[in-house]
Amino acid sequence: MAGCLSYHPDDSVHAFITTLPEVRYGDGPLSGVTVAVKDNISTKGIQTTCASRILKGYIPPYDAHVVSLLKNAGAAIVGKTNMDEFGMGTTTENSAYGPTLNPLDKKRVPGGSSGGSAAAVAAGLAELAIGSDTGGSIRCPAAFCGIVGLKPTYGRVSRFGLIAYANSLEQIGPMARDVSGVARLFSVIAGYDPRDSTSVDRPYTPGFSSDIKGLRIGVPEEFFGEGVNPAVAESVREAITSLESRGAEAVSCSMPSMKNALAAYYVTCTSEASSNLARFDGVRYGPAIETRKSWHEAYSEQRKEGFGEEVRRRIILGTFSLAAGYYGRYYQKAQTARQMVRNDFERIFRDVDIIAGPTMPDIAFRLGEKSDPLQMYLSDILTVPANLAGVPAISVPCGSVDSMPVGLQLIGRHFEDERIISTAYAYEQGVL
């Protein structure tokens, strides 16, 4: 039955940028269920900032497709969650509105860029949340906050209304405290949308079994290599052993393209960001430019004031990669390396059903710990391959190190989201 609820959260972790004190909900499969929405997803009549000064006060005139689906399902959308500005970061510290804190240890980050969504769920401020994942932005905070997060197959959830960062990589997905919650939310948001040219007609119906007998699990040696905390690796290997005890078979394999995956990802995403963020020019979007100055001067000043340091850095890197004389040297090579990642996945999936490994190389960082951009970029090494290939991947909690959660990442073939969700459910049931 339709209704209204009063929502006044104790948001001590700064999970939200905007909250809705009076929340309406309708009839449907999510009737009255509280859902938090990442602040780069358009919500009609509700401020949507991408955690950037340049969009402060922007009120979209329409709902993103996923938001319309949530409303039609009766969900109670309680607010817009904090994030790394325009999705560029791994900690949710790159927000113009201040960092989000990890609910499990407020001296640590919640991960990013969907850190506010993960923190809202982990802190009990919302039952479910929507995030977006360009290079790990759902799975990273899910791992750091000890919840479940799914990056669906590219195209399975409409991106209409998602404010673009890197179109060929990003995907909207569900976050929840357990696999059942993720499946429930995914069943609402998955499906075809004619307004998204990359959308495919693949709806999802919840229903999974904990029986994984005969399942072949590929374990790439590169997922446990240099830079991975040995304690994290041990926790994940124990999780894989737990799956074996339930009838699965672990198979060692290799993914040589991993050595080029991170570079391919950052060249691709910054190049696409350079193009996408050009629209924030003070004419189409962003605060109006100073008309008494030359257009070039006003444009430069407006973007310098409106964008944060990390966003400016990535725009510059992307513009350089696409510049005449450098396009072939960087962008084209990145696309060749991206195809190598796809080829590795196709080769491995001829012999196994899913791939397993750590979601992140380490546990949640301390606030301010990753001040060097390169060190921050390196932390994405295990999540970016799935985005480069467009395959589905899920993070499910699998133990802890120093009292902080570790994430088990399960990766599947294109459009086999059901299989990785079922495997995550089987693991979850086995450890409860």
Query: What's residue 1's pLDDT?
Result: 67
Tally of structural domains, the chain: 1
Which residue in the list 137, 158, 235, 321 is annotated as catalytic? 137
370 is catalytic: no
Is the distance from CB of 288 to CB of 282 less than 8 angstroms?
yes
- CA–CA separation, 114 vs 313, rounded Å? 20
Q: Which of 42, 113, 271, 274 is catalytic?
A: 113
Query: Is 395 in the active site?
Result: no
Classify burial at 420, counting beta carbons within 10 Å of its beta carbon; exposed 0-12, middle 13-18, buried 19 or more. Answer: buried
Long-range contacts of residues 29-32, Cβ cutoff 8 Å, at least 24 apart = 29/73, 29/74, 29/184, 29/187, 29/188, 30/70, 30/73, 30/74, 30/75, 30/128, 30/184, 30/185, 30/188, 31/1, 31/2, 31/73, 31/74, 31/75, 32/3, 32/5, 32/74, 32/76
Catalytic option among 38, 71, 80, 151 = 38
pTM value > 0.85: yes
Closest to 300 measured CA to CA, from 281, 318, 321, 286: 281
Question: How far is it, in rounded angstroms, from Cα 147 to Cα 182?
Answer: 10
Collect the ranges in the chain with pLDDT lower than 50.
none
Torsions phi, psi for 220 (to 5 deg): -70, 130
The CATH number linked to 37 is 3.90.1300.10
Model pLDDT, residue 291: 67
Catalytic: 137? yes
The residue segments making up the domain with residue 106 are 1-432
